[in-house]
Structure 1
Amino acid sequence: MLPIERQRQIVEQLTNHGRVLVAELVNLCQVSQETIRRDLSMLEKQGILQRSHGGAVITQRNIGPSTAGKADLSEHELAFSQRINENVPQKMQIAKRALDFISPGDCLLLDSSSTCWFLARQLPDIELTVLTNSLRTVQTLAAKGNIRTICLGGQYSSRYEDFKGVVAEHPLKEFLINKIFFSCSSLGNDGYLREGNENNAHLKQQMLLASERKFLLMDASKFLKPSFARICHYRDVDILITDTLKDKELQQELAWNGVNIIDCSQRQSTMQIMNF
């Protein structure tokens, strides 16, 4: 069993039970105590758990919404106005590479991530239909006369500068969407893409279901980090576009699960992309 698979099982046990014992994990994973302790140490460094005598407990910030009396973790998410100033060169590089997968006549879906806003800014003024729940993206595309822009309505969030809720989800059923370009808060050790806000996560689930091809735009700062609400497993993604992916183990895991990787730091992708 690969380390990432073991750590995924450890996180699942923590999520389900709130605590794990070394002895139980040894039996579950069929490895030595030393190996389990190394896994726990790595997960502790990532803020997922806190080690205790004979095992570990889940950290407060990773307790799910079903736990009563806990703070709303979405409060700790950065506002959109803050996120657009983070990792700007990386996001611009990712957005520029994403243009290679956009053709005249496409019907695109862009989420309200800051990375997709950078993509919207770089879109050429060609015949496209773009659906989005991002107010900032709508404003950006308004100056491009050949792009038909459709805003997904719903409850507006001034913090995230986007729309969400049932009203935003309904129009997704009315269009044949070729490609979705989206980002998220993190890709965790358990293999799941996550958001810091459960409402954002649910809307992105519906966006993915409505789209034929799924493009994940993610800079390296988000890999193997904990976050709150589950969106989907990375095996549900067709193409990952990132500024760099140095973790060979994760790279292999993604490839085994059918995810084509576009590493902008490499001259060629790690997989051959066909029919996109």
Structure 2
Amino acid sequence: MLPIERHRQIMEELNLHGRVLVSELVKLCQVSQETIRRDLSLLERKGLLQRSHGGAVVAQKYQGNLAEKSNSPNEHESTFRLRMNENPQAKTLIAKKALDFITPGDCILLDSSTTCWFLARQLPDIELTVLTNSLHTVQTLATRSHIRTICLGGEYFAHNGDFNGVVAEQPLKDFLINKIFFSCSSLGNDGYLRSANENNAHLKQQMLMASERKYLLIDSVKFLRPSFARICHYREVDFLITDSLKDKELQQELAWNGVNIIDCSQRHNVMQLMNSQDI
């Protein structure tokens, strides 16, 4: 297990239980006690937790979030701040490639994923309409004078800095959206894209239905791993943009289902060129 994956696992356990023990994390992550202690020290320096005898507890500034209602859609999900530090180079690479598919005059939809936040940071100040349910993206685009930014309302969740629910879904029916750029928690071996919570997954379903073209931005660590709530099957995606896709069987399955694969690790993307005249 990579360090970044261990850190995510540690924070997920903390968010779920409020405390973790070194002995439990050793079994969960299959590493030594010294490795776990180093992980906890690093996360403590980042202000994400507090070390305690034999383990760690949630940092003081996050303890209020744990007291929120138990059906919060983000309670089993890592915080936005933690996820934004996961695979930043891959997300930047993916975001820069996604720019190739955005043209002046587009009306685009960005979900509340950290990958789309990386894309928002890369957007040039051109004539665009951007719809999003992410407060982080709204704040990022606030300085772009030529980009019209529309925030989807709804119930606000500080854990992820986004809006969800029926109120967030309603405006999607009123716009002609050319393209959606979105991410997910995982692409499972059953062919389905999944999110960490059901409310977020349902909103993404509505976003996909409202958009003409669908661009999935996904870093390689999310392939073929489990997650909670189903979003859609990958056959509903037009383009998949990733930092690397080495699984030949998955590549073939995606191609058979009409998904154009943009692998940023490859110099030449044959599949990217297949339908370029339609972009």
TM range (shorter): 0.7 to 0.9
For residues 83-138 of structure 1, what are the alpha-carbon distances to aligned partners after superposition, in whole Å with 9 as ceiling and x for unaligned? 10000000000000000000000000000000000000000000000000000000
Residue 242 of structure 1 corresponds to 242
User: What is the alpha-carbon root mean square deviation over aligned residues?
Assistant: 1.5
Distance in 1 between the 2:134 and 2:244 partners?
Answer: 26
Q: Secondary structure at the match of 1:225?
A: coil
Equivalent residue number for residue 251 of structure 2: 251
What do residues 39-61 of structure 1 show as CA deviations (whole Å, max 9, x unaligned)? xxxxxxxxxxxxxxxxxxxxxxx
Could you tell me how far apart the structure 2 residues matched to 1:198 and 1:86 are? 22
Percent identity over the alignment is: 75
State the Cα distance separating 1:207 from its structure 2 match: 0.1
Query: Counterparts of 2:72 and 2:123 in 1: how far apart (Å)?
Result: 36
3-state SS in 1 of match to 2:246? coil
Q: CA deviation at 1:233?
A: 0.1
Partner of 2:231: 231
Q: How does 1:1-276 map to 2 (within 5 A)?
A: 74-271=74-271, 272=273, 273-274=275-276, 275-276=278-279
Structure 1: 5+ residue runs without aligned partners? Answer: 1-70
TM-score (norm 2): 0.72
**CA apart distance, 1:74:** 4.7
Query: How many Å apart are 1:75 and its aligned residue?
Result: 2.5
Is residue 263–residue 270 contact of structure 1 (8 Å, CA) maintained in 2? Answer: no
- Structure 1's consecutive aligned runs of 4 or more residues displaced over 4 angstroms after TM superposition are 71-74
Residue-by-residue CA offset, 1:151-187 (whole Å, 9 max, x unaligned): 0000000001000000000000000000000000000
Aligned with 1:105: secondary structure? coil
The offset of 1:72, in angstroms, is: 8.3
C-alpha offsets along residues 211-257 of structure 1, whole Å, 9 cap, x if unaligned? 00000000000000001000000000000000000000000000000
Q: Count matched residues.
A: 207
Q: Is the 2:76–2:197 contact (alpha carbons within 8 Å) kept by the matching residues of 1?
A: no
Whether contact under 8 Å (1:192, 1:231) holds in the other structure is yes
Q: TM-score, normalised by structure 1?
A: 0.73
**CA contact 2:73–2:200 (8 Å) conserved in 1:** no
- Secondary structure, aligned partner of 1:173: helix
Larger relative contact order (C-alpha < 8 A, sep ≥ 6)? 1
Unaligned runs of 5+ in 2: 1-70
